[in-house]
Structure 1
């Protein structure tokens, strides 16, 4: 009866692990994540180990060397399964193990399989070697998960802990067949050994679920990070598109949105134009002209509020939008800027300017307000030109 139960249990585990293996292969081919590769290899190794067991029942080899070969392959594949799962846990924690190290791990599993095949004297002894080795490796995986704590690690840790627990009990059960273990009732040991593969299969589904959940959380975190980076890049591109590269002020593209934003509260509009800017370029060169524009922008920043919008409108023309302020209250700021710019800077000549003011009434006509400021600026510029003439 126990033999039939053992074979049924092992076949159930083989079917279960085949489904897990196929699922992981399809998932890996879909997402192409390197973290999944060792898990695919692990479940393939477990599939091979269980297939060897089924093949042994079917063909019942009598040759001594063939039985030793079967034992070597079975134990090697079981140890490879556990070791590759550890490699998979490391991969899910962000540490991808490359080819040579994996090759060394698999060679160590093969060496252990050869050792077991050469030394075991009975099926029970073979079971102790196999279950104890698996338990040790699986508990090591639990320790690695608890240390690294990859995303959604609780399910992964639970699956490994349950599977390691079953392997530990299996090792003790096989050991009780070789020597007396007082606290293990014999009437429970044999049924457990006959059915343990079905328990192992259930625990392995927990491991597979934990792997998928962890992979999902990793991908979700990467997508969220990519979204943040794309949003930041989009914001940076918007800033570049709306900024004047020379002065660092806003450019002409921001004028109408800024005016629409202040319509509900009203705002003063100042339209600046540098006087004799062409002569500065002709006399000192365009680099000096650029330096004058930079200095003018700095003085505007220093004399207007942080909440005011400063725009380089075109060439040597600048616009300031001061929400909630009347034009007359801005005269001291204009005067301070005129005094500061009227003195030669460290690397620039004195800068003189004309300015026109207008007031955008609450919900007023923004185009008309800009046109009034522009007209007032040109009127002041013309008056200064006539006086200098």
Structure 2
């Protein structure tokens, strides 16, 4: 019996070892190579598809961001222009003649009233507007604006008022490839739109000082002061007069430095080849020529552009106080420094936004 039991255990032991030996067989080198090749053939196209989807999504997102930026920019300009009392056109006249009266930006540049046009910046839209100053004019004589309260009654109660403000939009070309306005860093930096504003201060209606530049409240808060570039007149000289819009406009372009401009929007297209040409502004706005003997307006006098990119331009009818502003962005320049110029085949990445606004027409309306 004992001998039979030992024999059974020994047989079972050999069987177990034989089974383990048979199941320990691994993959051969050939099988590993075949598996690696199959994985490569399957995964590589999938990775390419995923990368392409990510790039497409990024380009669409950048295009959407550019469209939103342009729309926000024209909405802001439209709100600005809605309070315009005078919009300068591109009339080339510098001095008055029997048939011509200066009404445009060239006269402002010739008089050094606004920052100059040069290789990097161009004035596109310049106008006078009403600037609202809330809770600023005291109802009681002797009270200063900086003591105004929001209480509906009392000695320090104040009313809202408007002051004159000159607004100038410029197109600026970035020339520093490492600037924050030229990212990703590289050649052919985008252009941007900047905005200057200078405004009058709070004039004291009870002042009788013969010097017009001294007829102001002395106690004012931030935002109520007269800008250094604003020409307020003097003892024997009046300030800005809408009937003479190109005379006594400002105290000079150098004084604008005290009120540096703000950037409205960046990534405006800087392409100069094959770009869409501006329209005939006389036709677009339905401009009517002034009565004789005044000279008829020409299309270039109604159109204000940089002359090369046409990515930010304005059609202006000064007589009707109307302006149509168009901006063209560049989505590709947000993604790549090279091969980002305008092409008809990729025009979807160069979105355009336009707005047409008629100002209030006259001071006090």
TM-score by length of 1: 0.23
Q: Which has the higher strand share?
A: 2
Which has the larger Rg?
A: 1
Q: Which has the higher helix share?
A: 1
TM-score by length of 2: 0.24
Report which structure shows greater RCO (CA 8 Å, sep ≥6): 2
